[in-house]
Structure 1
């Protein structure tokens, strides 16, 4: 009987100890979970730029976070993501995180913020080499990389551009994006080309025409873009160029010559430049449109090139306030040149509307 009581007491004690052990273990695990959720890896924290690549799986992201010191436990971080329904919501990009943040804040930043994005505004009328400088200054890729990208045969073929480079197809726009780690300039060139074709469907809503026809429109639009100082005149200027082409007249567009002179042009257009037959972009001596676009036209200039104004004007001259005087005859044009150019006030003259 005594032995039975001893055995019973021992069993109870063992059960109590086991219960305390299990309870203690559960308490310890709960304490660890609470510590993980409420304690930052470091105090004070360090700011870290963290990159998530497109298509990267969550376990890899969690492992990279731990290696950077941004979390302390990958398994618990994964469980937190599953528990909150954010396991598949992490975005690709570059994020500004801190080792002084608790895990939930890190997860929230990765799943709800836009990350570290760069903004670049590329205005209408820039050449590809001017655009390259803008891209480099914005930190979205080197100018050399952009130069290679715009002439990349594989990139051009992927979008059906049958030209030596992407001039005219680098759509002017304000872009907000996170550059990829590899070949950021190439990525930027492709983003701009993709944006061109997105807008091209607004110009040709019934479907894009054959490339040759579209390319002629882009060339004409680039001339309109460079000659327009008053936005209301785009379609009228396009109409002048169309009328001259129909009559087999030389276009005689100064910006085409300047483009042919290349990045080294010093701003001084000389008389000898107007007669230079070696410049394929010299529309004072070569008939028809130049061999390619001379800048990246915006949507309005593309629309004007495809839908020019119907009129009988053959000439236009800048009036010095951003607008132009349009003439039907050479005699009228010469009078306008004397009035607005030869007698112009250089101190108040401007090429664009203000």
Structure 2
């Protein structure tokens, strides 16, 4: 009885559209699509609890069908219709009938959050992905070691890896279907969105190259826990670079360690004057970024704060103590027992 009433309602609507010829028009619409073959796929979400008829309005509002009334006509013709809640890949190239079939199929698996922590190196992200069972160990590093395979609105390194350019953020990942290349491209896109695009002109005016800023920012991410203090630290470090003094950033000597907090290996690195990442002995910036900086660190590296300070240290509570000369710095080292 209900189906018959629905039929009568649809017939009335179609007659209002164009008389008896509306039936032929409706049949043609069911087999037509909004776009020619080959249109890109899009995601369409079937909300939980939505009725089959209710989907017509949603499909029309997203440009996947022309008229919700045609959707109701299709449902009448099909009879049973059981859409599955969730995200579905569909296309404007699909006919109305094909859309209905697609929405009864299995939805796209739900993403799980994966956090790329601020300051992480490529090896840290790779290890975390492998530990979560999302990739084979080494796959992330291998892909990030081929910068030429990626696209970005900023210059990518021509040698080495994408260290420093893969923005630390929470990314949705589908278990069992991790596209490492796609994840890295998303991180590059996020780098552009969060820093490069809004700061393109300011970067040009800074007098530093993007790569220099990224290297400095990667050190700031490890050196200063408080974002508001990073411009001051950046000013000190850039001044030492420009005047030809060693940076003395011990975090750089940890960069190539298998485990960042391996103290024995770290102390050995500090004594190695041949290590290119030893900024106690080598002047200028280290050979590459030492991790993934945030927008706050990148901003600080690009716009450092001038000061009279040449040195700084952190006490046991990680509070910053800058100093103007070697004597003041030595006094602070003794006061806070920092060596």
TM bin (shorter chain): 0.5 to 0.7
Q: What is the distance in 2 between the residues matched to 1:246 and 1:320?
A: 30
Aligned pair count reads 263
> Is the 2:115–2:171 contact (alpha carbons within 8 Å) kept by the matching residues of 1?
yes
> Is 2:254–2:260's contact at 8 Å kept on the other side of the alignment?
no
Structure 2 counterpart of 1:288, from 263, 269, 284: 284
Q: 1:186 aligns with which of 181, 184, 199?
A: 181
TM-score, with length taken from structure 2: 0.66
Q: Which runs of structure 2 are paired with 1:1-354 in the superposition (5 Å)?
A: 55=40, 85=59, 103-106=81-84, 110=88, 115-138=109-132, 140-156=134-150, 160-162=155-157, 163-178=159-174, 181=177, 184-201=179-196, 204-206=199-201, 209=204, 213-263=209-259, 266-268=262-264, 271-342=267-338
CA contact (8 A) 1:257 1:282 kept: yes
Q: Deviations along 1:18-46, whole A, 9 cap, x unmatched?
A: xxxxxxxxx9xx9xxxxxxxxxxxxxxxx
Name the SS for the 1:301 alignment partner: helix
Higher-Rg structure is 1
Deviates most, 291-300 or 143-152 = 143-152
Please give the alpha-carbon distance, in whole angstroms, between the structure 2 residues aligned to 1:57 and 1:217.
37
Residues 125 and 89 of structure 1, relative CA distance in 2, 3 Å threshold = farther
**What residue ranges of structure 2 are gaps of 5+ in the alignment?**
8-38, 44-51, 66-79, 90-102
1:68: which partner in 2? none
Contact 1:128 1:167 in 2 (8 A): yes
- Determine helix, strand or coil for the equivalent of 1:302: helix
Q: CA offset at residue 56 of structure 1?
A: 5.6
Note the C-alpha offset of 1:82: 7.8
How far 1:107 sits from its partner (Å)?
A: 6.8
- Partners of 1:270 and 1:264 in 2: how far apart? 8
Distance 2:191 2:203 in 1: 12
TM-score (norm 1): 0.63
**Structure 1 residue 134: deviation in Å?**
2.5
The change in CA–CA distance for 1:334 and 1:122 in structure 2 (over 3 A counts) is same
Aligned equivalents of 2:58 and 2:293: distance in 1? Answer: 47
Q: CA deviation at 1:253?
A: 0.8
More displaced stretch, 325-334 vs 190-199: 190-199
Q: Distance in 2 between matches of 1:177 and 1:266?
A: 30
Report deviation, 1:326: 0.6
Pairwise CA distance, 1:88: 6.9
Please, which moves more after superposition, 107-116 or 148-157? Answer: 107-116
8 Å CA contact retained: 2:114, 2:171: yes
Cα 1:149/1:270, change in 2 over 3 Å = closer
CA contact (8 A) 1:261 1:279 kept: no
